[in-house]
Amino acid sequence: MKLSVIIPTWNEEMFISSTIKNCLQETEDVIVVDAGSPDRTVALAHEYPVRVFQSSKGRACQMNLGAEKAAHDILVFVHADTRLPAGARADIESAIASGYVGGRFRLKFDIKSPVLNLYAFLSCYDFGGLSFGDQGIFVTKSCFLKGGKFPEHRFPEDIFFYQSMKRLGKTVVLPKSVTTSARRFQKRGVLSQQIENIGILLMAFLGVDSKKLEEFYCQT
């Protein structure tokens, strides 16, 4: 089984080149799904041997479209500001061969912070409520389709998808870590952003309207 990497993008000209180069070290099938970025994201993506598609805005529908276009049997979803660890392909293929339907990596950030270090430490636990899209979620295509794909009308879509994946089979947190940008935490303040993230997650589980939650998250 081989990997297809899907990268959803929206105004990611600062990160897209380095992320594509990182992903191409693990597979030849890298798919960028852009949501109409007005910056140079798409132009930069076209400089590399990747496939680029356009989608309506919304990370869930972007990732679902990328999954439809994937050439291989294992799907890996990578945020545009996230880098896979060296050897990710071998680790993922080994996990799938061992009977896992999917999983993710541990997490680390590109800055040092006690709060973020704690958040990164907690990512070693295979708990659905801690499994966000910036952790390099991977899944077999058959499980992805059986699980109903990423829910396009629920936010955070990655949390709800990971929970559905866990109901379909064994999942695993691999020991290596992806490295993701802490730009949102730097912009808002680490503690403030983390409190907001927890609040959004709690409201999502309590059934607060997903569209309103997503709009709030995107505005902050």
Q: What is the pLDDT along the chain (220 residues), one digit of tens a residue?
A: 799 999 999 999 999 999 999 999 999 999 999 999 999 999 999 999 999 999 999 999 999 999 999 999 999 999 999 999 999 999 999 999 999 999 999 999 999 889 889 989 999 999 767 788 899 999 999 999 998 899 987 778 898 899 999 999 999 999 999 999 998 777 766 666 666 666 666 665 656 666 656 665 565 5
Q: Please give the tally of structural domains in the chain.
A: 1
- The pTM of the whole model exceeds 0.95: no
Q: What's the CA gap between 146 and 182, in Å, rounded?
A: 33
Domain with 80 in it:
3-219
CATH of the domain at 136: 3.90.550.10
Q: What's the CA gap between 86 and 197, in Å, rounded?
A: 29
Report the helix count and the strand count for the chain, using DSSP H and E.
10, 8
3-state class (DSSP) for residue 120: helix
Q: What's the CA gap between 128 and 115, in Å, rounded?
A: 20
Is the bond leading into 156 cis (omega within 30 degrees of zero)?
A: yes
3-state class (DSSP) for residue 133: helix
Contact 181, 82 (CB under 8 A): yes
